[in-house]
Amino acid sequence: MSYLLQRFLIGVLAVLLPFALILVNWAIGHGFQPSLSGYYYTPMRDIYIGTLCAIGVFLVSYYGYDLADRLITDFAGLGTILTALFPTTLGYPPTTAQVIIGDFHIGFAVTTFVLLAVMAFRFAKREPTPPGLPFWPRVRYALGFTGPGDSTRPLWATVVFRVSGCVILLCVILAWPLSAVTYSLLVLETIIMVSFGLSWFVKGRKLLTGG
């Protein structure tokens, strides 16, 4: 499978997943869950696990530009799979085992979301990192804040990548203080998945434009 097709499929799956879970589960009469992770305990469980695992496999198999890209996508893919397989805590009151598994779920999810943001920033990179740079300039280059180089990418695509990364990080930061607000996690996680998917969809847009 070409890397362009992988990017495209990752983007499509990520964007469609939250809407499929929310709308189909509501349509069959099971209402809404407080978060996307809560759909593990609904008839949408197989769709939730299967889609996240598919995204995870695509990320692990994705061959990036360099070792950093490969490590980031590998760990994000593994985190995505583990997030799906370790369900969120649900039970009143939850058992000790459920709490421990739920804590692992949160850890895997937060780590994965942060890595997804880093990926989006790195998509904005337009030239290789010059040798001999000091530490902080190297960090800036690693996160996509580079000069134009020889890139012919349109400005709007770079803006999409950077906005997607910022939106994902903002949602991760807001998740804890807003967790007590009904459906806040569902909304924030949906925004994260759409932002992540959009960045990959744009990165694989050559499939649609033919160039």
Predicted confidence at residue 206, as pLDDT, reads 54
Tokens 């203080």 belong to which residue? 177
Q: Please write the tens of the pLDDT for every residue from 126-170.
A: 777 778 888 888 888 888 888 777 777 888 988 999 999 999 999
Can you count the helices (H) and strands (E) in the chain?
8, 0
The first and second tokens of residue 210, run together, are 């033919």
Backbone angles phi, psi at 107, to 5 degrees: -60, -45
Mean pLDDT for the stretch of residues 1-11: 79
Helix, strand, coil percentages in the chain from 3-state DSSP, rounded to 5: 70, 0, 30
Q: Please write the tens of the pLDDT for every residue from 165-188.
A: 999 999 999 999 998 899 999 999
Mean pLDDT for the stretch of residues 85-91: 88
Q: Is the pTM of this model over 0.75?
A: yes
